[in-house]
Copies of this chain bind each other. A is one copy, B any other.
Amino acid sequence: MQTITLNSPLDMHLHLRDGDMLSLVAPYSMEPFAGAIIMPNINPLVDNLEILEDYKSRIMACSKSAFEPYMTLFMKPYSREFLESARDKIKAVKLYPAGVTTNSENGVKSLEAIYPTLEIMQELGIILSVHGETHGDVFEREAEFVEVYAMLARQFPKLKIIYEHISDARGLRLVEEYENIFATISLHHMLLTRDDLMGEKFNPHLFCKPVIKTAKDGEALREFALSAHPKVCFGSDSAPHPKTAKESGSAPAGIFTAPIILPALVELFEKYDKLDNLQAFVSDNAIKIYGVTPPIKSVTLQKSPMRVPESIKSTDAETVPMMADKNISWSIKEIA
């Protein structure tokens, strides 16, 4: 049977949530992956070291194998003294323009307000992670933010800026044009189109921000991922919500992909005959971009189908994964 082994896969954009949901979903990321950038938009927000260290402990309590949570802070104006003390405990500070996604109501309203913080981050070598959307039309707001990325890149030329979960083909040029702009690409933005979301009926489990764009956008993203462009790396943006919230009159944004990621990535890269580039996309590029040394872990997948569960649940939480109740042609054989 055909197999492939991935060394120390990394997920550079992950929402692990908290409480019952954390306990439920954490194993799906922490077992197959060697490490992940942990997003700070829990409640309360991760904006000081006490919250950060407590959250990290709750995450590590879910760990059964080697896994490094690369912690992040929620962007707000921070002092030099604080950032110096935080520097070794975080990998990035995450900027959410106010209100664009889950728990980002307190994101930064005026970018100028954080310029001094960005200046210090640049000096200290702390990465800036950005959810880049304006408050414009839902399908245009990422494209409208492209100029903001460019402006930040020019203003802070030594600051590493991560264009998170890029979904719009119009943004891809930034990673070519600006030395200090890098991007994460998610599985769902490569695999789905807005027709999958709402072409016939509407599937709230495929609703996320940035919202899934067109087939053409997906194709452009795949081109960068499949070629393992050195300035992009994998970030799942796996973002579970309770099934009851998703299937309501007001569905929050976020797609839960953790249970399917590695099999679906192998299936995708195999389909385009680019399996040789998967190791770089899912680990090596990130190691270089973020300057991390993840735990050694090897994950072997086999070409034997996996059936994605209809939902993932415990007695206290339930969430529906992408591709629920569908088959993927590859599955995880062994994690060592």
| Chain A residues proximal to chain B, CB less than 8 Å | 99, 137-139, 193-195, 198-205, 207, 211, 214-215, 246-253, 320
A137 touches B215 (CB 8 A): yes
Given the contacts A247-B247, A248-B247, A201 and B253 also touching, CB distance less than 8 Å = yes
Interface of A is mostly: loop
Given the contacts A137-B214, A137-B215, A194-B139, A201 and B247 also touching, CB distance less than 8 Å = no
A249 touches B249 (CB 8 A): no
The 8 Å CB contact of A138, one of B99, B138, B194, B203, is B194
Among residues of B, the one whose C-beta sits closest to the C-beta of A324 is B249
A205 to chain B, nearest CB (A): 6
Residue in A200, A249, A251, A320 whose Cβ sees the most chain B Cβ within 10 Å: A249
The 8 Å CB contact of A251, one of B99, B202, B215, is B202
A249 touches B137 (CB 8 A): no
Q: Which residues on the B side are within 8 Å of A253 (C-beta)?
A: 200-202
Given the contacts A201-B253, A204-B204, A138 and B195 also touching, CB distance less than 8 Å = yes
Residue in A138, A139, A207 whose Cβ sees the most chain B Cβ within 10 Å: A138
Q: List 14 A-B contacts (CB under 8 A).
A: A99-B200, A137-B193, A137-B194, A138-B194, A138-B199, A139-B194, A198-B211, A200-B253, A201-B250, A202-B204, A202-B207, A202-B251, A203-B250, A204-B204
